[in-house]
Amino acid sequence: MNIIQAADDLQERWEAFVTLQAPDGGLLQSWRWGEFQKSLGHKIFRLALLDGTGELKAAALLIKHELPFEYNYLYSPRGPVVSSVTELEDLRQLLAEIKVIAQEEKSFMIKVDPPWAVGNEKKLTAAGFRRSETEIQPKCSFIINISKNETELLDQMKPKTRYNIGLAQRRGVKVRISRELADVECFWQLMKQTAKRDEFQTHSKDHYKKMFEIFSYDQTLQLFLAEYDHKIVAANLVAFFGNLSTYLHGASADLYRDTMAPYLLQWQAILAAKGLGCHYYDFGGVNGPTYQNKKWEGITRFKTSFASGGAPKEYVGGYELVLNPVIFAGYKFVKQIRS
C-alpha cells in the first residue's frame, strides 16, 4: 500500500470512490467539498491510500482550522472513507500519516467522524483516538428510502404530517427552486431568525454564499423556497450527491408558522430527489439510542414524522487524537465558556 497526497489527476477516481464507499453519500469527503473549504480560506490535505495497482482503498479530506494565537487543529468531516476490503493495518497507516501532517502543521488535535456504523470504534481506538465529548456531524441521522412511489411515501408518514403538507398546499404555499445568488440573502435572513428562535449558532453568510456558488451550478445543491402572500417564509438547502439527497440547512420566518411551509418544502425536496435518481433522503441529525439532545426533541419529531416507525442511522461519532494536551485544555475551556 502507498499513501500519497492526491493531485488533480486523481480527482475523478477520488469522487467515484467516496460516492461508492461512503454510506452517507460522501459529500463531505468529495473533491469539491475540499474546493469549497479552500474558498473559505482553509488549508486542506487530501490523503489517498492506493494499492499496488493504483486503486484507491481509502481517502481522507483534512481541513485545517485556524484559531487565535496561531493554534490550529485538523478535521476530517465524515472521514476517513475506506473500502470494504481495507485492512485494519492499512487504516492505521493512513491515520499515522494524518498524524505526521498534524505534527508538521503544529496542530494540537486531529478530529474525525467517519461514516461508519456503531460497532467500528476499535478501528479508531487502536490508532490512539478517543471518543470526543462533542459532535460536529450528527451522531444519528434519519434516512429514508425514497425508491417507493409517491403514494407509498405519503402512506408511511404520520397522519399529521400528510395533513400539514395538504394544509400548506390548500393555503396557497408555493415552492420553487432558485439558482439565483440573490436568494441566498433571503435564506440568510430567515436563518438568523431561526437561529435566534431555536438558540443555535449559524455559519457566516459567506459560508452559505460560497457553498451555493460552488455546488449549485450542476444541481448538486439546490435552494428550495416556500412563498406565501408574496413573501419567502421558509427555505431549505438540499444536496444531491450519488444516490443520496441530504437536507443540509433549513430556516423559516417567525411569522406565518401556521402555513406549515416546512412540511411542503421537505416533500418537494423528496420529489426532486426522486426525479434526480436518488434512492435515499437524509433528513440530517436527530436524537437516537446513542445520542440525546433535549434541544433536538422538536426537530426529531418533525423529521421522523416523514417515515413512521423508521429508525435513525447511528454512526461511531466524533473521535479525536490530542497532540498537545495543554493547548487542548485551553481550547476546551474556551468552548465551555462560550456554550
Helix (H), strand (E) at residue 264: helix 261-275
d(CA 263, CA 178): 18
Range scoring the smallest mean pLDDT among 47-51, 144-148, 308-312, 325-329: 308-312
Contact 188, 212 (CB under 8 A): no
Q: Cβ-count burial of 218 within 10 angstroms (0-12 exposed, 13-18 middle, 19+ buried)?
A: exposed
Residue 62's pLDDT band (cuts 50, 70, 90):
very high
Domain residue spans in the chain? 2-137+316-338, 140-314
Residue 23's pLDDT band (cuts 50, 70, 90):
confident
Residue 338 pLDDT greater than 80, yes or no? no
| pLDDT at position 44 | 98
Q: Which of 207, 279, 211 is nearest to 245 (CA)?
A: 279
C-alpha cell at 248: 443540509
Which ranges in 56-158 belong to alpha helices (H)? 88-104, 122-125, 150-155
Q: Rounding to the nearest 10 degrees, give the CA dihedral for residues 206, 184, 76, 88.
A: -170
| pLDDT at position 150 | 96
What is the rounded average pLDDT of the residues 311-327? 95
C-alpha cell at 30: 468529495
Whether 2-137+316-338 and 140-314 share one fold: the answer is yes
> In the predicted model, what is the mean pLDDT of the chain?
94
Strand partners, 174: 227
Residue 339 pLDDT greater than 70, yes or no? no
Give me the percent of the chain exceeding a pLDDT of 90.
86
**What strand order describes the sheet that includes 231-241?**
174-178, 221-228, 231-241, 244-252, 280-285, 140-145, 313-314
d(CA 92, CA 137): 22
Hey, which CATH number is domain 2-137+316-338, 3.40.50.2300, 3.50.50.60, 4.10.320.10, 3.40.630.30? 3.40.630.30
Q: Do you know the residue count of the chain?
A: 339
What is the rounded average pLDDT of the residues 204-217? 95
Interhelix angle for 11-21 vs 31-39, to 10°? 110
Query: What 8-state DSSP symbol labels residue 230?
Result: T
Contact 234, 252 (CB under 8 A): yes
What's domain 140-314's architecture? 3-Layer(aba) Sandwich (3.40)
Strand partners, 27: none
Residue 85 pLDDT greater than 70, yes or no? no
d(CA 53, CA 281): 35
